[in-house]
Amino acid sequence: MPPKRKAPPGQATASKAGRASAMSTPGPATPRSIGSSAMSDADEDFDEDVSEAQKEREALMTKEADEFVSKFTLGSKRFQGQIDDSSREVRRYDAATPFFRKRDFSHLPLKPDHQNRPLWIDPDSCTIVLERFNPLAEQATDFLITIAEPKSRPTFLHEYALTPHSLYAAVSVGLRPRDIINTLERFLKTSLPDVVRRKIEDYTRSFGKVKLVLKHNSYFVESADAEVLQTLLKDKVIGGLRIQGSGGVTTSYAPTMGGLVIPGTQNAAGVHQANLNKAERMPGDAGDPSNEADLLTALNEEDDDDDKEAVHSFQISEDNVETVQKRCLDIGYPILEEYDFRNDDVNPNLEIDLRPNTQIRPYQEKSLSKMFGNGRAKSGIIVLPCGAGKTLVGITAACTIKKGVIVLCTSSMSVVQWRQEFLKWSNINPDDIAIFTAESKNKFSGSTGIIVTTYSMVTNSRERSHDSKKMMDFLRGREWGLMLLDEVHVVPAEMFRRVISSIKSHSKLGLTATLLREDDKISHLNFLIGPKLYEANWMELSQQGHIAKVQCAEVWCPMPTEFYDEYLRASARMKRTLYAMNPRKFQACQYLINYHEARGDKIIVFSDELYSLKQYALKLKKVFIYGGTSQAERMQVLENFQHNPEVNTLFLSKIGDTSLDLPEDLPHPDLVPLRLPPPRGPSAAFSARSAATTRASTPFYSLVSKDTQEMYYSSKRQAFLVDQGYAFKVITQLANIENTPDLAFATPQETRELLQRTLVDNERGAEDDVETDDLFGKPGRGRGGGGGARKGNGVRRTAGMLSELAGGQDMAYIEQNKAVNKALRAAGGKKKAGGGGEGQSKFFKGIQREKDKSKAQARAG
DNA sequence: TAAATAGAAA
DNA sequence: CAAGATTCTATTTA
């Protein structure tokens, strides 16, 4: 049911009001809608599509054909309504018009010089579309990244959304609402719709007004707006938390952005540029002296700006920080955290600097300039693809603040790596940087220093070892200047809450490759850590050569009929194994490995399916790492993979996605990731990201079994990659695959054997009778490791036997159930849920459940 | 080395 | 279509 278009002016809703006011500003007659303009090149095709679609629909609704036609005919009531509602201009309706319906924004008057302006806007959803081919696109991109959430960024058109979060982020990097509005106005092809203007004003009114400042070891709630502060003080929760006798509201002067422009970086939002209209920023301009020394001089410059703003603040106690934060959030004044580290005399300074020859890349500086935009350290999140030097950003931040730093990582592997990176990029004394993991619990020697640890180490709420407890007390007992949070997207919000509440830090910097996980958890991050300060565009970075170019190819492998038959009747679990073990896929894998090894590439094959991972690796005589591989062995295998010219292919389980960071400097430039069964799951995009970012360079293959579940996941992955601006290629035929030496499973006989073995192995609970762990001939691991594995499998075997029990009966059992279900359904249909009373036995309840389930399935299917 | 725990995914 | 159960993995400590 389409919403009524006619609404009495009095009852206009917000968005309708916008329309109404747009109507009152008559512009030049614009016959084109956004859509039709964009489509103008393809008018003919489009017309065809239209008639096609119409035909189709007419065919579908023969009875309603007349109605249908009249509904979509020019001058029908429907369109009349639209005209009345949106604009009094005479509008041209073409065949495409009906398809835009509510999204027809042709009533928004185009500016005369619209061709020189790069942005379109959808006032209803606050979506902004950027023409990448427009001369002003560069500036507009910088601006949009600051104020809006990137939705989709393929080659020519980028889509951004204005959201409360994004505006919050914009305000927090120092943009004023009127900057946002003016700059939008400048870039938009139409005038800024009033709805949007009002939305921006509404959202930003309360954002960025309140700051939490840790000064002289005390927390202050600070605001430039005395009224806002009064509001807070009058609040029933916050008011009572003010520390009495701290002199009420004090007024001082806040540092301004004035003296703090970091050389080689763009101003907070590219607003500056836009205003000055000095357009060209050379991508990757190396001529700019953009090293850390300049950054520091810039930061150390005193603010001799006369444009100082008065700020007012009141003190709250440490214990109430979280309460106040939460309350402020609830009443619409989210608190920004800022650390005035230059004026912190309480915490000792840390002896740390970047090594003199260290060059920061422009985008890294840009992100840091967002963080230090006003001379203080703002808490927030920086989004950079892996391989783009997230670590260096974190390290530079630490070098700027020069106070105690705590680094949190996801795994103990990356803990070690972070420390190494610190030693590599900075002159920090090795004694001042300590690791806190299960293995090592050292503190730094001096009065301050850096601690690198994992989330689980800090959040672990269970009984701790004595050393851990002491260490935790140590961590809790002091104030940290900076908390570096690595890979924030994989850590659940609850964990953050625990980390943040247990460790006091003046500023927090979250680093991540993507904020793609748009479940509710990610929005929590925004307020737990801070707003997103910067997000790099992958495509741009790879074009500028900062991160490897990724070419994505998907290889579609048909399933041999035997396999497919088995696949169709297999359990969900077995299905996974089957499509992973698809012999055609195996061949494709073999072929690609062969091809790339011949070129001297290093290849990583990812597989989330353990059985197939092992089978592939063993069959192809390659090394592999999975969850059960011991730490020492992992290191050994990795070491060999990196330096041993004999070991060029590595099979990785999903351990590679998260906890195994491949070292930055692989000797070979060409690392070819190969996805066996491509990652699964609703956030396949997430895995795709990890795959594409795990030090990926040149081609990146996904092997997909045709006509299986995998295809569905692959479509999601494609969508993600296309959004990131990557081209996507589908390969259905690998040239000369039959010439691959020792091509596996070339005969039907072998294929059948593979199938048999796969089925048998997996029915028996994947007992890997093969000596899996001995590829590197680890002494002692043979028996011990085997024992471990066997023991581990013992558990699994039990499960396997249970499923075997079920499996033993499975055919008959399922058949029987189906029969029962059918009977019940028939009976239920007639008799109304036959026998469904309280006195049901467990058996009947089970049946009932089954029935409901199958009903639900029937409904779904 | 094993057990406990926790999170992610399908 | 969602929530729960389930499986897997990784992390910790004893």
Q: Which nucleotide's C1' atom has the smallest distance to the CA of A438?
A: C12
Q: How far is the CA of A612 from the C1' of B9 (A)?
A: 18
pLDDT of residue A828: 35
Q: How far is the CA of A703 from the C1' of C8 (A)?
A: 22
In sequence order, what E strands does A340-391 have?
A: 377-378, 380-383
Q: Which residue is closest, via its CA, to the C1' of B1?
A: A788
Q: Which residue is closest, via its CA, to the C1' of C14?
A: A465
Q: How far is the CA of A846 from the C1' of C1 (A)?
A: 22
Q: Which residue is closest, via its CA, to the C1' of C11?
A: A456
Collapsing DSSP states into helix, strand and coil, what is residue A506? strand
Q: Which nucleotide's C1' atom has the smallest distance to the CA of A576?
A: B10
Q: How far is the CA of A788 from the C1' of B3 (A)?
A: 14
Q: Which two tokens stand for residue A385?
A: 């693809």
pLDDT of residue A853: 41
Q: Which nucleotide's C1' atom has the smallest distance to the CA of A631?
A: C10
Q: How far is the CA of A633 from the C1' of B1 (A)?
A: 16
Q: Which two tokens stand for residue A19?
A: 């329309």
Q: Which nucleotide's C1' atom has the smallest distance to the CA of A654?
A: C9
Q: Which nucleotide's C1' atom has the smallest distance to the CA of A627?
A: C9
Q: How far is the CA of A457 from the C1' of B5 (A)?
A: 13
pTM: 0.65
Taking the CB of residue A423, how many other CB atoms lie within 10 A of it? 15
Q: How far is the CA of A436 from the C1' of C10 (A)?
A: 17
Separation between Cα atoms, residue A407 and residue A434, nearest integer Å? 10
Q: Which nucleotide's C1' atom has the smallest distance to the CA of A709?
A: B10
Q: How far is the CA of A653 from the C1' of B7 (A)?
A: 17
pLDDT of residue A660: 53
Alpha-helical regions (H) of A292-340:
292-300, 321-330
Enumerate residue ranges in chain A where pLDDT < 70: 1-94, 101-102, 217, 244-250, 252-309, 386-387, 461-465, 514-527, 548-551, 654-699, 713, 716-721, 723-727, 763-861
Q: How far is the CA of A492 from the C1' of B3 (A)?
A: 24
Partner residues linked to A450 by β-bridges = A405, A433
Q: How far is the CA of A434 from the C1' of B5 (A)?
A: 26
Q: How far is the CA of A788 from the C1' of B1 (A)?
A: 8
Q: How far is the CA of A274 from the C1' of B10 (A)?
A: 48
Q: Which nucleotide's C1' atom has the smallest distance to the CA of A611?
A: C8
Query: Is there a contact between A191 and A25 (Cβ–Cβ < 8 Å)?
Result: yes
Q: Which nucleotide's C1' atom has the smallest distance to the CA of A573?
A: B10
Q: Which residue is closest, via its CA, to the C1' of B6?
A: A456
Count H helices, E strands: chain A? 33, 24
Q: Which residue is closest, via its CA, to the C1' of C9?
A: A627
Q: Which residue is closest, via its CA, to the C1' of C1?
A: A860
Tell me which residue has tokens 């499975």: A810
pLDDT of residue A693: 42
Sheet holding A504-512, edge to edge: A433-436, A450-454, A405-409, A479-485, A504-512, A380-383, A532-535
Q: How far is the CA of A18 from the C1' of B6 (A)?
A: 49
Query: Is there a contact between A562 and A751 (Cβ–Cβ < 8 Å)?
Result: yes
Give the bases of strand C that a protein CB approaches within 7 Å: 1-2, 7-14
Q: Which residue is closest, via its CA, to the C1' of B4?
A: A462
Q: Which nucleotide's C1' atom has the smallest distance to the CA of A780?
A: B1
DSSP A797-841: HHHHHHHHHHHHHHHHHHHHHHHHHHHHHHHHHHHTSTT-STT--
Q: How far is the CA of A592 from the C1' of C4 (A)?
A: 41
Q: Which nucleotide's C1' atom has the smallest distance to the CA of A626?
A: C9
CA A585 → CA A304, A492, A606, A743, distances in Å?
67, 35, 13, 12
Closest CA to A233 of A249, A211, A251: A249
Q: How far is the CA of A860 from the C1' of C2 (A)?
A: 12
Report CA Rg, chain A: 31
Q: How far is the CA of A55 from the C1' of B4 (A)?
A: 63
- CB environment A177-208: b (16+ within 10 A), e (fewer): bebbbebbebbbbbbbbbbbbebbeebbebbb
Question: In this structure, are strands A127-131 and A157-161 parallel, antiparallel, or unpaired?
Answer: antiparallel
pLDDT of residue A666: 36
Q: How far is the CA of A637 from the C1' of C14 (A)?
A: 29
Q: A185 φ, ψ to 5°?
A: -55, -40
Instruction: Give the protein-side footprint of strand C (Cβ within 7 Å).
Output: A 410-413, 437-438, 454, 456-457, 460, 462-466, 468, 610, 626-628, 653-655, 658-659, 796, 799, 802-803, 856-857, 859-860
Query: Is there a contact between A526 and A535 (Cβ–Cβ < 8 Å)?
Result: no
Q: Which nucleotide's C1' atom has the smallest distance to the CA of A791?
A: B2
Instruction: Give the protein-side footprint of strand B (Cβ within 7 Å).
Output: A 461-462, 490-492, 494-495, 572, 630, 679-684, 686-687, 713, 784-785, 787-788, 791
Q: How far is the CA of A806 from the C1' of B2 (A)?
A: 29
Give the bases of strand B that a protein CB approaches within 7 Å: 1-2, 4-10
Q: How far is the CA of A460 from the C1' of C12 (A)?
A: 8
Q: Among positive and negative, which fits the CA dihedral A564, A565, A571, A573?
A: negative
Separation between Cα atoms, residue A438 and residue A288, nearest integer Å? 44
A531-544 tens-digit pLDDT: 888 888 777 777 78
Q: Which residue is closest, via its CA, to the C1' of C10?
A: A627
Q: Which nucleotide's C1' atom has the smallest distance to the CA of A783?
A: B1
Separation between Cα atoms, residue A180 and residue A201, nearest integer Å? 10
Estimate the crossing angle of helix A177-187 against helix A137-147, to 10 degrees. 150
